Chain A
Amino acid sequence: AQSVTQPDIHITVSEGASLELRCNYSYGATPYLFWYVQSPGQGLQLLLKYFSGDTLVQGIKGFEAEFKRSQSSFNLRKPSVHWSDAAEYFCAVGAKYNQGGKLIFGQGTELSVKP
């Protein structure tokens, strides 16, 4: 079955600390992988995506993610968290031919940032 698992429902980090959000996927075809951020009551903003090439991808707002095929993982990292990073984060997977459409989303990880 195709699925995305984000094991951590809620994470709290101190401002300035590093962050890693975990994402594991199960997908039959070559995956396109995405990380989105959602603020309360808002739509989705794309942080970064992976579809081929370098397995370490850089995104907006200082985020990066590493694709590890052997572990079926696509973890999101940030070296120093800012209070404005507090939001809900979603990992998603889709097929190459759908161009980022028809995505399967993980359950989401809610990030809280302590001052």
Chain B
Amino acid sequence: GAVVSQHPSWVICKSGTSVKIECRSLDFQATTMFWYRQFPKQSLMLMATSNEGSKATYEQGVEKDKFLINHASLTLSTLTVTSAHPEDSSFYICSAPRPGDTEAFFGQGTRLTVV
């Protein structure tokens, strides 16, 4: 079964509103989680590294004030898309490395549509 759960699976919001996406590790503690973005028919691009108890590390070109990341517990990271615009419409997916494993587990992804 899934070891990383992402919620919601899809969301439609109005332009100018904010949307929160949750990423939970279900049976392990994740001090680090990763957020990716995928435009239609394109590859996944790393947006940021979410660090439990500290600030997230953003990749070059990613607006930290627009994509707010909070990693308040060892099992939960949230990505908030603030003041969303249609160009923010995309597939957002998180991953979390499980201690002792050699792979990170991906959530199911969230399809965000801004209208």
List chain A positions with a Cβ less than 8 A from chain B: 32, 34, 36, 41-44, 46, 49, 51, 90, 98-108
Contact = CB atoms under 8 A, between A and B. Distances in A.
A101 B108 contact: no
Given A43-B106, A43-B107, A43-B109, A105 B101 contact: no
B107 A101 contact: no
Given A41-B111, A42-B108, A98-B97, A103 B102 contact: no
B19 to A, nearest CB: 18
A105 B46 CA distance: 9
B103 interface: yes
B102 A99 contact: yes
A40 B50 CA distance: 26
Contacts of A49: 102-103
Interface in B66-115: 93, 95-98, 101-104, 106-109, 111
Given A90-B44, A101-B32, 4 more contacts: A42-B108, A49-B102, A98-B97, A99-B98
Interface in B27-44: 32-34, 36, 42-44
Contact of A101 (B42, B43, B45, B95): B95
A43 B108 contact: yes
B96 A101 contact: yes
Contacts of A105: 36, 43-45
A1 B49 CA distance: 20
Contacts of A44: 44, 93, 106
Contacts of B49: 101-102
